Amino acid sequence: MVLSVSERTFKQEVLESPVPVLVNFGAPWCGLCRLIQPILLQFQSNCCDRIKLVAVNADDNFKLANTYRLTSLPTLILIENGKISQRLEGFDDKEDLRQALEAISVNYAPINNWQRRSA
């Protein structure tokens, strides 16, 4: 399950998080936002507690949308130690998103998984 975050809880849940946070900015009317949900849930299950996944409704959190200068939805922003580490937007299809998320998850894979991949 993805944690919904608002302007009120963003600082505590995202900026002050001890683990990196992948913020999914979307909106209920956004068809692509709904299409990527299964991919994000799979990403979350693969990364477990190494990366936190949260969702922000851009329509209901206008200040956050402006702060992070959203130009399209969905926009995914990886935040580490309160700072943007990576931004994913304008991906072409599900496979493009899968590859980008895989690249992120490799950086946070447990040592035993990394060793299995490189063997």
At 56, list the tokens: 């922000």
Catalytic residue among 5, 14, 22, 33: 33
C-alpha 10/C-alpha 17 separation (Å) is 10
Catalytic residue among 30, 32, 39, 109: 30
C-alpha 50/C-alpha 104 separation (Å) is 11
At 66, list the tokens: 């402006």
Q: Is residue 30 annotated as a catalytic residue, yes or no?
A: yes
Q: Is residue 33 annotated as a catalytic residue, yes or no?
A: yes
Position 11, amino acid: K
C-alpha 119/C-alpha 24 separation (Å) is 33
Instruction: For residue 34, report the phi and psi dihedrals to the nearest 5 degrees.
Output: -70, -35
C-alpha 60/C-alpha 102 separation (Å) is 29
- Residues marked as catalytic: 30, 33
